Structure 1
């Protein structure tokens, strides 16, 4: 195998591995309902376009030395990967924000539930009732 063929195979393998990894990650986000099906489809199209752009870059640099081709193609590939990683990060931040909001809402609901379940005796506004009940039980006449 020639050095050019080895480089081409390595680049194809790296692109395919990254595309598969990206597909799996975006599929997980879709399953968690963090992205829509249409958004997922668009991301798949973007991933295919990345692969095609890298293949085109390989083809257009056939007359250049392997080192030049490698630098050019991997810099292009890194640019696309960075774009995808930025998309992942934005979605993860939205997920974290939703989880924080959900947590605050759950805590607020639990606080409200505990306030409504507060026993009558411990409620500050009912302290007068407690004293009257104790006096009534001790035999004193209530006015």
Structure 2
């Protein structure tokens, strides 16, 4: 308690509350500190299980099109992590296209060039049936009506 707060308390006046910016800054710092504290737990979970995956709710083959997947790569010549994420680029009642990005972070690799990739899977379905894979393309999904070159 500083001198001004002590004088206010002796005079019977209420103490000033910290400003909203100060409280917001402390809250953000606390959240950041918790993220730092949980990082080793996340890395331990990844090392033990080999994969952390968050899935989309309503997509065909959710294991192939995760919202976010972090997977360890532990091979003889390559060591690192693969980060896979996918997003829905087009969706109607009878058609859906998913764009999947796969990025690699290697700390040991036998490859000199980047192994990152992007692919597009388009699915169709008839009313009352399951999704069926229609096309699979390398690269980003093209909007409907455009030629794929």
Please give the TM-score of this superposition, normalised by the length of structure 1. 0.25
Larger helix proportion, structure 1 or 2? 1
- Larger Rg over CA atoms: 1
Please give the TM-score of this superposition, normalised by the length of structure 2. 0.24
The structure, 1 or 2, with the larger RCO (C-alpha pairs under 8 Å, 6+ apart) is 1
